[in-house]
Amino acid sequence: MKKLFLSLALLTLTLPCMAYTVSFDSSNANYEGAPDSTTGGAACSAGDVCADTLTWFNFGGSGVTLDVSAYLWNTEADIVAWHDIVPGGGGLGSAESADLGDSSADNNVGYESIRLMFSSAVHITGLWFTNHGAVSGMTTCLSTTVGCGPSAVTNAAGYAAVDFLTDRLDVESWHGTDFDTEWYLAGIEFTTSVPESSSLILMLLGIAGLVIGRKQTLT
């Protein structure tokens, strides 16, 4: 029994992290596709998906649920998350409700922000940005708290390496950026530990139960 638990303890310490790269841009090979479900869905341009909250279950095959919303000046009022799918070269944008149907309003400008909420903490290691091809010299604020205080500021030109262990990330244009710059959040790179701690505990208890039951049967 002691050897069994020692082996399981060593297994726990050496559990790998699973890495995932998911694109919201339909022209990318890692494209995840449209959300599994939407809440408060609204009509927008052909082929695209808009809602107060866009939800991906089992995001990228990670087992984690991702909710995407958008806000303006942290009010979260009268602004929807817009998944620009058609044509390729887009990603996650936002728009005011009055602009739904206008495909030129589907990106992020000014203080329009994208909020990512994960069902459990993940380690975010990279983000991709695009404006139908490129974003040049855009300064982006990344925050894990209310608003967009500069928890991290990165000059994003396509790919930006980041380092966040969090269940929430806000992405917003920041000082030094022309607030007329149009951008999409085109993709995300993150890792998760496998299995989750709760699953591991259940596995350990199950194995221990089997071993104890077998010993009682033999005696």
Interval 150-166: pLDDT, tens: 788 888 889 999 999 99
Statement: residue 21 has pLDDT above 70: yes
- Structure confidence at residue 22 (pLDDT): 98
Domain chopping of the chain, boundaries = 1-218
Nearest Cα to Cα of residue 87 among 47, 49, 43, 29: 47
Are 118 and 69 within 8 A, CB to CB? no
pLDDT, tens digit, 9 for 90 and up, residues 63-105:
999 999 999 876 667 799 999 988 888 999 999 988 988 888 9
Global confidence as pTM: 0.80
- Structure confidence at residue 6 (pLDDT): 47
pLDDT, tens digit, 9 for 90 and up, residues 38-64:
776 777 888 899 999 999 999 999 999
Strands 159-173 and 79-84: unpaired
- Structure confidence at residue 32 (pLDDT): 93
